[in-house]
């Protein structure tokens, strides 16, 4: 199995991946600043440029999650961190033409509490060999990304809503701005996902900020019962606040300092 390195220059710097089995691969390219410290529970901000070459040969962190729910593949062993907002690119080594390739943007499932773009079944190489640029993305999960806590926001500790959707919109903007470097057509992006990922891509159809960032949607087995009303979300936030402030203090401050 012959393997060699391949480099691409994107908006934030040079990324080095590798070529194997007829496809180029770049793993864990950051599309956002790490959502830690003051950025926890805040809308994602675009990644900052880096000097030199960023080596994207291996997978980085997956979003914090409970291991007992992660039954298969790399998710059982992949290190976890809030610094998880990365994406992977797989492109054909020798495309059939010089025309820009369609882009397939994949959102993993996992009930919004587990999962990773590094799971082997989400590899994407088979699709890339058939003539597309495949992009898979990590997004924030569980309490840090998919639970509506903005009702607990304070001026000192602001908390924003729909964080996982904001992550996906920023990743799609990254695709718009960078996928041509990998041979992809930013005007021909299909977003698709399975289970919670299918629910997420269907939801993006109703997100104004996502308008114009994709052309088609494939929603594979969406979990339609995963939506709560604003009132139900506020009640959950209140229950969490009671747990976090049993000894007094601000729920928002407790959320900002809690270990994931």
User: Tokens at residue 147, please?
Assistant: 């639970």
pTM of the full structure: 0.94
Give domain limits for the chain: 4-257
Calpha distance 105→190 (Å, rounded): 6
Q: Could you report how far apart the first and last alpha carbons of the chain are, in Å?
A: 39
The architecture CATH gives domain 4-257: 3-Layer(aba) Sandwich (3.40)
Residue 249 Cα distances to 1, 126, 260, angstroms: 58, 52, 19
Give the span between the Cα atoms of 176 and 174, in whole angstroms: 5
Q: What is the pLDDT along the chain (260 residues), one digit of tens a residue?
A: 458 999 999 999 999 999 999 999 999 999 999 999 999 999 999 999 999 999 999 999 999 998 765 555 445 568 899 999 999 999 999 998 899 999 999 999 999 999 999 998 999 999 999 999 999 999 999 999 999 999 999 999 999 999 999 999 999 999 999 999 999 999 999 999 999 999 999 999 999 999 999 999 999 998 777 777 888 888 888 888 888 876 667 889 988 988 87
Residues in Cβ contact with 221 at an 8 Å cutoff, skipping those fewer than 6 apart = 194, 195, 198
Give residue 233's pLDDT.
Answer: 84
Closest C-alpha to 142, from 66, 72, 212: 66
């Amino acid at each position: 199995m012959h393997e060699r390195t391949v480099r691409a220059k994107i908006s934030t710097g040079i990324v080095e991946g590798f070529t194997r089995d007829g496809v180029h691969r770049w793993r864990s390219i950051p599309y956002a600043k790490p959502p830690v410290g003051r950025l926890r529970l805040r809308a994602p901000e675009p990644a900052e440029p880096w000097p030199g070459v960023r080596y994207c040969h291996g997978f980085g962190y997956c979003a914090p999650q409970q291991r007992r729910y992660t039954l298969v593949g790399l998710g059982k062993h992949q290190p976890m961190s809030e610094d998880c907002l990365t994406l992977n690119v797989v492109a054909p080594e020798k495309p059939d033409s010089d025309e820009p390739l369609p882009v397939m943007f994949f959102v993993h499932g996992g009930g919004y509490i587990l999962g990773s773009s590094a799971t082997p079944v989400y590899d994407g190489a088979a699709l890339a060999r058939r003539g597309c640029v495949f992009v898979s993305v990590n997004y924030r999960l569980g309490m840090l990304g998919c639970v509506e806590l903005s009702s607990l926001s304070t001026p000192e500790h602001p908390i924003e809503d729909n964080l996982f959707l904001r992550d996906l919109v920023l990743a799609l903007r990254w695709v718009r701005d960078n996928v041509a470097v990998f041979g992809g057509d930013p005007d021909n992006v299909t977003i698709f996902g399975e289970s919670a990922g299918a629910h997420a891509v269907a939801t993006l159809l109703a997100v104004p900020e996502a308008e114009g960032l994709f052309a088609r949607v494939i929603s594979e087995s969406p979990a339609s019962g995963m939506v709560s009303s604003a009132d139900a979300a506020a009640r959950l936030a209140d229950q969490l606040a009671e747990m976090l402030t049993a000894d007094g203090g601000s729920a928002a401050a407790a959320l900002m300092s809690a270990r994931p």
